[in-house]
Amino acid sequence: MRVDMSATAIGYKMLSHTLAVLSQKQATGKLLLEQGEQQWQLYFFQGSLVYATGGSHRARRWYRAVGQHCRNFQVDLRDIEARELWEYQLIQQGLAASEMSLQQAKAIVHSSISEVFFALIGQSGLRREWRPSEKYFSKIISSLLLSVTEVDQILCSTEQIWNKWKGMGLWLVEPEQAPLLKASAQLQENRFSSNSLIALANVFNGENTLWDIALKKKQCVTVATRALVNYMKQGLVNFRTVPDLPSPIEQWRLAASMAGQVRPLIACIDDSPTVCEFLQEILLPAGYRVLKIQDPMDGVGIIAKQKPALIFMDVVMPKTSGFALCNFLRKTPSFRETPIVFLTGQDSIIDRTRAKLTGASDFLSKPPNPEQVLQIAQKYLKVKGDRSPLGIRHHDLLSSRQLSLANS
């Protein structure tokens, strides 16, 4: 289907007509909608709507949808590509890992489409381009596809919200904007208590968008915004344009980069330089730093300064034993929780029991097996080879980077 890029579109009617034509033609591809520098994308598979995204706050919209419908969603992000339709990839992975139900996935899709429709209904002069292609879909979840009837229902309900928005006189305000309540004597004259004023200022702080506030209040955006209308008429509210948040993939890459800059430090306390060199050869390629200590008495001061995240320690050493040194470290606040692993050729039940009594975390026989050394390191430390830190919990991103609203 060809759509002239110069065609003038008029909000709801344009959207309704275009969606109907694509459904009738059982089209597969992407509908591009542009207004100035803003761009939205609607993806279709055989005439059914798959997902809608784009606009100025693509990532914020995703975090809101997940925060509302699947609060504890967590997936491994290593296999997600930062390409088109990353949201749909996350949904696919969430369903495959049983991190979200089909009902939750549908709710996320519906919420995202509704917000995009809201933005599009309020636009005039939209430029349209249809790009037929199957390259956008590596895998389709048929039960998530939206029929023309379902799309019409979402569009109609969104139009009703838009009409209420327009009826409130909010023509020039977009839900992507963040309201900032001005400090004014007029507010105090409205007989608000100090606590109420603080609560209002915390919510309408110029950082949280109207969509964000509606989510926090668990209200429709028109209801959540209604409290502002009176202040707006009095000129007591400014609206700010706020940037989008980093996507989950960008967040993860940043976290991985920061983690890569500070590699975990592992100490090896052994009077044999051969053993320390052996451990270093195993641990360095795996992304760890190694601190080699041959004199256990001097080593106490060194590890106190360096604070290793894990300690491998020989049992039989000159001047002191590993048991005595471990017992001493466990009485030091800085090393009460530090994993300490004994390395020794004395691998008897008595030795293992004594190791536990002195506070050792684990026990390896000499000469240590390289695979066992790495398993011990991965057991006690979070590094690149460990999958656990890569499953970022979306609600944590939402709450720490986006919403900080006081209850009001």
Tokens in use for 138?
């590596």
Q: Compute the distance between CA of residue 129 and CA of residue 5 in angstroms, rounded to an integer.
A: 6
Please report the pLDDT score of residue 391 as a whole number: 44
Asked if 68 and 403 count as a contact pair (C-beta separation under 8 A), the reply is no
Q: Compute the distance between CA of residue 170 and CA of residue 67 in angstroms, rounded to an integer.
A: 26
pLDDT in tens for each of the 408 residues of the chain? 444 333 333 578 889 999 999 999 999 999 999 988 899 999 999 999 999 999 999 999 999 999 999 988 887 777 676 668 899 999 998 998 898 999 999 999 999 999 999 999 988 788 999 999 888 777 889 999 999 999 999 999 999 999 999 888 887 889 999 998 876 545 555 555 556 666 677 778 888 899 999 998 899 999 999 888 888 888 888 899 988 888 888 877 766 665 555 678 999 998 888 888 888 888 887 778 899 998 888 778 888 888 999 999 888 887 788 888 888 888 888 888 899 999 877 767 777 777 788 888 888 887 778 888 988 998 898 644 443 333 445 444 444 333 333 333
Tokens in use for 226?
């209604």
Furthest-apart CA atoms within the chain: distance in Å: 87
Please report the pLDDT score of residue 10 as a whole number: 55
Residue 37 burial (C-beta neighbours within 10 Å; 0-12, 13-18, 19+): exposed
Q: Would you list the domain boundaries of the chain?
A: 11-166, 172-247+397-401, 264-382
Sign of CA dihedral 321, 324, 330, 332: negative
- For the domain spanning 264-382, the CATH number is 3.40.50.2300
This prediction's pTM: 0.64
| Residues whose CB is less than 8 angstroms from the CB of residue 320 and which lie 6 or more positions away in sequence, other chains included | 296, 297
Helical (H) or strand (E) element with 371: helix 370-380
Please report the pLDDT score of residue 309 as a whole number: 93
Q: Compute the distance between CA of residue 200 and CA of residue 194 in angstroms, rounded to an integer.
A: 10
> Smallest Cα–Cα separation from 45: which of 173, 166, 132?
132
> Smallest Cα–Cα separation from 288: which of 305, 304, 311, 272?
311
**Within 10 Å of residue 158's Cβ, how many Cβ atoms?**
21
> Smallest Cα–Cα separation from 69: which of 209, 203, 218?
218
Q: Look at the block and give the residue holding tokens 């009485």.
A: 331
**Within 10 Å of residue 35's Cβ, how many Cβ atoms?**
17
Q: Compute the distance between CA of residue 136 and CA of residue 95 in angstroms, rounded to an integer.
A: 19
Asked if 31 and 65 count as a contact pair (C-beta separation under 8 A), the reply is no
Tokens in use for 109?
């899709």
Tokens in use for 351?
């030795």
Phi, psi of 308 (to 5 degrees): -65, 150
Residue 310 burial (C-beta neighbours within 10 Å; 0-12, 13-18, 19+): buried
Q: Compute the distance between CA of residue 393 and CA of residue 35 in angstroms, rounded to an integer.
A: 33
| Residues whose CB is less than 8 angstroms from the CB of residue 64 and which lie 6 or more positions away in sequence, other chains included | 111, 115, 211, 212, 215, 398
Upper half-sphere CA count for residue 166 (Cβ side, 13 Å): 11
